[in-house]
Structure 1
Amino acid sequence: MRLSTSITAVAAMSVAMTMGTALAQGATHSDSPASSAASRDCSDLVRIRAFSDDLDKKTLDGVFVGNMSALAVDRGGRITAVSDESYLYSLKVRETGRALRAEAVAVAPLTDLNGAAPDSEGLAVDRDGSRLISSETEPSVTRYDRDGKAVEALPVPAALAVAPTGRAVRNQTFEGLTLQTGGRTLVASMEGSLSGDETGVVRLQTWHRAGLSEPFKTGAQYGYQADQGLGVVELAPAGDGRLLVLERGFTLGVGNTVRLYLADPRRADDVSGTENLTSGGAARLASKTLLADLADCPTLGATAEQPQPNPLLDNIEGLAVTGRTITGRVKILLVSDDNERDTQITRLYSLDVRLPR
C-alpha cells in the first residue's frame, strides 16, 4: 500500500524449513554466543541478522524491481514477491554469516479474472505451487497458477467490500495474507477499520478447507486491536495457530513506525456476525504480545533517504517465515515497499524471533 503523508505467506512448514537451510548456511554461526550479543538485539525476543539493499532501484527484463508488498517461500527455496504495481517476482535470497544477498531472477505481470491489474498486497504460496494474492481494491483474493494466470476468486463477505458496496475504506482492506501451518486455513488482514467499528480495531478474515485439494470456504472472522495510528500490513504463521503481525504507520518529517506482534486468535470470538466491533465490547478480540519495535534495532550501518527514527527503517510491508534456527527461533524475512520513489528504499531484512509461550 502507498502510505499517505498522515500516520496511517507462507507455504507449509516443511517448505519453510527448506528455505531456512538455503537462507542460512551460517545458522550455527549466527546462533553462537558472540553473534547473539546485544548489538544485534532489537528486543529480548527479536534479533536482526542482516539487511540488504541489493534490489533497490534495479530492473529486470525492462520491469522496475520494487513496490514490493508481500513475500512468500516458494518451492525449491526461492522467495516469491508481489508488487502493488501488479508484478510477481522470483527472488534468490541467500544469507551467509552476516551477509544477506538478493537477486531478482524472474518477473511476470498479473491481471485478475477480468483482465484488470490488481492492487496486489498479500501473498501466500499453496502446496501445489499456486499463488493466492489479495488485492485491496475490491478487496479480493485470487488464486494464480505458477505463471501468474488468474484461476479462481475466493468468496469475500459483503461487508468487507469498499463503500458504498460494503463498509470498508478505500486503500484499507486486504493488506496481509497468509496460510496457517498445515495449509487448511487462509487468513487475510484488513489494514483499517470498517465503518461502524472502533478506529484501530480491524478484522482478520479466514477461509477454511477440509482437505488440501478442497476449495476454500469463508470461515471465522476475528477482531484485532492495532496500535494507535498504525495499520496491519502483514501476517505470517507462528506454527501453532498464532500469527506474527506487522503493524506500520508513517509520520511526515519523522518517518516510519514498524512493530512486530504475536497475535493469538485461538481464543478470540468469531465476529463475522458482529455489526459494530469495539475494543471494550462483548466480543473477545485476538490477544497480542509485542515482540519488537523495529526502531530499537541496531542500525547495522544502514542509511535512510528521508527522516527515520532509525536509518534502518523504511516502508516495511512484507513478511515471510523462512524456517527455524538450530535453537528453535523463528526466522523471518521482511521487505520494504519503496513506492518507486528516490526518498525510499527496497530493503530486505533477516531476523529471528523467540516466540513466548
Structure 2
Amino acid sequence: MKFLLSATALIALLATGADAADPGRTIAVDCPINNCEDAISLTFAGEFAIETGTTIDGVEIGGISGIDYDAGTGHYIAISDDRSQKAPARFYELDIKAGSGGIDHVSVVRTVTLKDKDGSVFAEKTVDPEQIRLFGDNLIWSSEGDGKAMIAPFVRITSANGDFVRAFTLPEGFAPSEDHATGIRNNNAFESIALLPEGDVLVANEAALYQDGPASTLTTASPARIVRYDTESGEPTAQYIYMIDPIPHAPVDGGEWNDNGLSDMMPLDDTRLLVSERSFAQNRGFTIRIFLIDLDGATDVSAIASLRDSEEAIVPVAKSLILDLGAIGLQPDNIEAMTIGRTEDGAPLLLLASDNNFNAEQKTQFLAFTIENLPGVGR
C-alpha cells in the first residue's frame, strides 16, 4: 500500500457543572486544506450537561452516539448506543434551546424504540446503534455490530416511529472474521453517517479493517474506509481512505489503554465534510479534534480487497485540523455526535454531544459553537 498524500417526556434536564472555557472565544482557520477562499470561523457559545443516572419514564438517558437536526420541527434526533441492555435500542427526539448566549435547555420530547426486520425489539447485545440522520420522511441509522460475537455492522432505514423500512448492502470484506484476517475490528465499525446534498450516503468505519492496516497507535495512523452508497438502491458505489491520526497522548499514572478513531462526519457540500476524531488515554482523558476533509481527488479503493497487500498508489481524502477542544480550554467528555443546527434566531450552530457510556464518572455533554464562516453553510 502506497499513500500519496470524516413516549413523550417534555421534562427539562438540569445542567451540571460550568463551562471549562469562556464563551465568546473565536476559533479561526484562514486557509483550511490550503484554500484561503474558504476561511473558517467558529465561536464557542456554551456547554450543557446531563448528569449520568437521569431517567426519563423510568429509563436512564445516555449513550448519545449520533445526533441530527430536524429543520421541520426545530428539534434534534439523537440515538443511544445502549445495546438493549438498559432498555430496547432507541432514539430520542430532543428540544435543545441554544444560541450565541449558550445552551439554556435540553429536554426529551419523546423516546422511540428501534425495531428489527420482523417488527420485534432488538434482543440484548444483538445491536450497537451508533449514528442516526434524517432521511426524507424516514431516518437512516447504523449499528456497529459486534466483532467478538461475529455480528456484522449494518445501515438501515427506519420510519419516524422506529419501524424497519429497508437495509443497505454490506460491502465485501467488512463482515467480522474469527481469525481477524479480514473485516471489522470489534467496536470500530460503522460509527458515522453523512448524507451528501446530492443524495448519496457516506458511512465510515471508526478504524481500519484488519486487511487494510493497523488501528492507530502513538506512532501509526489508521486507514479507515468511507463507503459511498447510492441512496435509492442501497448499494455501495465507491470507497475512500481517511487516515486517522496517531493517538495524540499516552496513558499516564499507570494506565495502559489509549486509542483514536473516526467518530462522526457532517457534510458541508458534496465533497467537503467536517470529521471528528475521538481519542482517549487512560488517566488522562479525551482528546476531541475536528477536521475539514475533501473527497475531491481521493482514490476509489472499492476494488482493492486489501490495502495492506496492495502496491497501488492511493490518495486518501485531504484533511485539515480546524478545532481541538482541549486547545481552547474545554474539558471534553466522550464526544461522538455532531450536527449543524440552528439557533433560536435562525443562525447556524455547530452542536456536539457525548456518549457518557452510562458511567457515573462521565456526563452527557452538549457543546455549542456559533458559525461565523464555514464552507457550504449559509447564515
TM over 0.5: yes
Partners of 2:356 and 2:363 within 8 A in 1:
yes
Match of 1:345 among 340, 344, 363: 363
How far apart are 1:240 and its partner, in Å?
4.2
Structure 1 residues 286 and 324, CA, compared in 2 at 3 Å: closer, same or farther? farther
- Distance in 1, matches of 2:291 and 2:307, equals 21
Match of 2:26 among 28, 31, 41: 41
Residue in 2 aligned with 1:69?
A: 65
- Distance in 1, matches of 2:271 and 2:344, equals 20
Q: 41-50 or 264-273, which moves further after superposition?
A: 41-50
Match of 1:142 among 135, 141, 156: 156
Equivalence map 1:6-25=2 (5 Å): none
Q: 282-291 or 156-165, which moves further after superposition?
A: 156-165
Letter in 1 for 2:128: D
Matched, 1:202 2:224: yes
Match of 2:133 among 114, 117, 124: 124
Structure 1 residues 292 and 325, CA, compared in 2 at 3 Å: closer, same or farther? farther
- Distance in 2, matches of 1:180 and 1:156, equals 19
Larger Rg: 2
Letter in 2 for 1:203: R
Residue in 1 aligned with 2:283?
A: 253
Structure 1 residues 293 and 281, CA, compared in 2 at 3 Å: closer, same or farther? farther
Residue in 1 aligned with 2:114?
A: 110
- Distance in 2, matches of 1:88 and 1:219, equals 29
Residue in 1 aligned with 2:334?
A: 315
Partners of 2:99 and 2:370 within 8 A in 1:
no
Partners of 2:159 and 2:165 within 8 A in 1:
yes
Structure 1 residues 50 and 297, CA, compared in 2 at 3 Å: closer, same or farther? same
Partners of 1:203 and 1:221 within 8 A in 2:
yes
Match of 2:319 among 264, 281, 288: 288
Partners of 2:66 and 2:338 within 8 A in 1:
yes
Structure 2 length-normalised TM:
0.74
Structure 1 residues 55 and 109, CA, compared in 2 at 3 Å: closer, same or farther? farther
How far apart are 1:270 and its partner, in Å?
0.6
Question: What does the per-residue CA deviation read over 1:56-78, in whole Å, with 9 as the maximum and x for residues that have no partner?
Answer: 54221122111110001123111
Equivalence map 1:75-114=2 (5 Å): 75-85=72-82, 86-100=89-103, 101-113=105-117
How far apart are 1:298 and its partner, in Å?
3.6
How far apart are 1:143 and its partner, in Å?
0.8
Q: 62-71 or 162-171, which moves further after superposition?
A: 162-171
How far apart are 1:205 and its partner, in Å?
0.5
Matched, 1:175 2:205: no
**SS where residue 53 of structure 1 aligns?**
strand
Matched, 1:187 2:202: yes
Q: Which protein has the bigger helix share?
A: 1
Structure 1 residues 46 and 96, CA, compared in 2 at 3 Å: closer, same or farther? closer
Partners of 1:65 and 1:104 within 8 A in 2:
no
Question: What does the per-residue CA deviation read over 1:248-297, in whole Å, with 9 as the maximum and x for residues that have no partner?
Answer: 11111100011000111121111011133369960111010101111112
How far apart are 1:96 and its partner, in Å?
4.1
Letter in 2 for 1:125: L
Structure 1 residues 281 and 344, CA, compared in 2 at 3 Å: closer, same or farther? farther
Residue in 1 aligned with 2:262?
A: 232
How far apart are 1:335 and its partner, in Å?
0.4
Letter in 1 for 2:80: S
Partners of 1:119 and 1:135 within 8 A in 2:
yes
Letter in 2 for 1:201: P
- Distance in 2, matches of 1:126 and 1:356, equals 22
Match of 1:266 among 281, 296, 299: 296
Structure 1 residues 251 and 296, CA, compared in 2 at 3 Å: closer, same or farther? same
Question: What does the per-residue CA deviation read over 1:220-245, in whole Å, with 9 as the maximum and x for residues that have no partner?
Answer: 10001011122001111112421110
Partners of 1:90 and 1:107 within 8 A in 2:
yes
**SS where residue 105 of structure 1 aligns?**
strand
Q: Which protein has the bigger strand share?
A: 2
Question: What does the per-residue CA deviation read over 1:5-25, in whole Å, with 9 as the maximum and x for residues that have no partner?
Answer: xxxx9xxxxxxxxxxxxxxxx
**Unmatched segments (≥5 aa) in structure 2:** 1-5, 7-21, 30-40, 83-88, 146-151, 215-221, 248-259
Partners of 2:102 and 2:368 within 8 A in 1:
no
- Distance in 2, matches of 1:57 and 1:189, equals 31
- Distance in 1, matches of 2:204 and 2:69, equals 19
Partners of 1:60 and 1:105 within 8 A in 2:
no
**SS where residue 346 of structure 1 aligns?**
strand
Partners of 2:44 and 2:370 within 8 A in 1:
yes
Letter in 1 for 2:113: P
**Sequence identity of aligned pairs in percent?**
28
